[in-house]
Structure 1
């Protein structure tokens, strides 16, 4: 019995020790739990603060991206093709201000309708050959257009601090080079919202535009239409188009054919309308001159005074003081010289007439090595067109797209096509691809 009591007492003591040990461990666990809960609360608070900071950072990022994206709108205008209307130019400085206002208001209205109201900032760059354009306008329109063109440019530049009409000179494709450079640089700026391109008359821009579209900037491009019909290559790009009525001249400038200078009868000294083929030889026979001048400039340099002829004079108010020839050249010399010149083919004159000046647009102006001073009739123009088609278009000859398209005055195909004698000898000047194919009969 004593043994049983002793064992029971020992077991109870052992059990009590184990209970106390378990309780101590439980207390330690509780302390650990309280400590962990405290740490968890600290981390929760820190996490909430991080979430708040992160949300604030996201908002700041979105705001910064919006500011970086901006709503900068750049308009690039090829002023040699997209020419402001003659009515606006004739108004001088006031016309320039009006053109700038009309352009900006139309662009802002289009952007608001298509993309919503935003704080758009508009930059406008117009690149042109000022001297060449002034000369052309002076020939096709009233004198007021040419004289007011300088004031028009001033007015346009004053329309906004971000408007610039810039003269690039008469170098070939100088305006094109400027526009292509701006096109690439402005499209790639994140601040640029849209680039409005006004060179839709010229297929020469197709490659640059297509390159930017391929690079992913199609959504930034808008075409500003000047001519009624855009160049075919530009149309195929399938870009949004903006048209502003009455802002630009709606078609290519074509200078009217001028009548040939009238010849003179040695008997009456009265001007005749034109020396016809039937009396050309007679004019030579009646002349006493031995060596008639061989160039137009020799005649034009010696004006001969004539009586007023209102029925032939295109300008009003002609007086006897007006002259087309001078006193230094005898009248009979004028008759013979005119007949001599008329009998000569155009290309034999020295210098010969400038094909681009009479059939298209010559950018060289007064520095051109060919003459711009001949007065041609309809048959002269027709002969010039026929002969020009016998010369290869430089662009097509190099395998490039011609910016004039079907309106090009030069030939896009050899007149003899596959039957060309010189092609078989390897000497034909038409060397571009497909320029001898019978299936291609149009330029």
Structure 2
């Protein structure tokens, strides 16, 4: 039995306590590299806790690299990790710090009950025959067909497989779109998606700020306008129908492309998902979607639907750069879509977010003002910048990362906090809210 002691009176979750103590055993040398750990079921029985507590601790330490899983042989202390930790201590180098729990706007909640389908997808990859050379830069035909079906069913976007392009996520899709546009400024929402701003700057163009919640009635001199109409990032509001029509009319008049970032549109739980802007004008809108918010950010997979008159240039640039998602990832995504994994995790996540959102609102609304309706996996709160900075510092001291609204702004004079609730466990979210409320209450 491992020499650990779990304290049920401690406010820290039992899984966190177990992970902390096991990490300390490795650092002290009590557990050495190559030591095999007890099976999770046996360790749970020894400690008098549920098996999920042990699995949570093992998963955390596996992710941090302290442990390694060997197929069919259990869980082991990673080779050499204890030796390196002791050597670092002798040199006075601090051991790796415990990672912060992310309360950001982009980390989704994934229902562990669907892990079987996830594993089956990768087993299919291992037995499938990969292409001999570079794959079709447009993406796997089977995947494009499944994405087209899903866009029609969930986003009201009637397209066929020949019109869908598989990308490495929103960022990659935006870079390809920028590559086929004239060398002119790009209009972006302010506050808005920071990675999009960086992509525009890296393309050698200037950014024109669009006040995020105002109608767009002037795009003169701009090559494109980048918007998040279904769920404005990070203020959370839906672009009204009148503003959508105004934007499209302005883009037609000023001969600008509209780039629609549809990053988490499926996660509304107050009303049905808002149809894609591209469904109103396929000739003027380049649509970008992603699997990051529904499946896994590190999958780095997305899709694009560009106007027909720009497809040839888009494909030519992709062939030139060989910038396409890896074949194994695309092949796994075929199974995940075909076997209903994506639909299942979206439904599960929507229920979880619908339950968590009121808890966040109830905790924070006495201290700050909501910037917009709460949808998806985060909420944005308006409060003075100095106060927001101090609350964020208190959160980091307690082990949580919260983003500042000011970091999304360029000319907009808004401040506050962007509080995500997709990534943490329920226990971590409760602790985080206690920390945030405690800091706000002191201020």
Q: TM-score category by the smaller chain? A: under 0.3
TM-score, normalising length: structure 2: 0.19
TM-score, normalising length: structure 1: 0.19
Q: More helix by proportion, 1 or 2?
A: 1
Asked which structure has the greater CA Rg, the reply is: 1
Per chain length, whose mean CA-contact separation is higher, i.e. which structure has more relative contact order (CA < 8 Å, sep 6+)?
A: 2
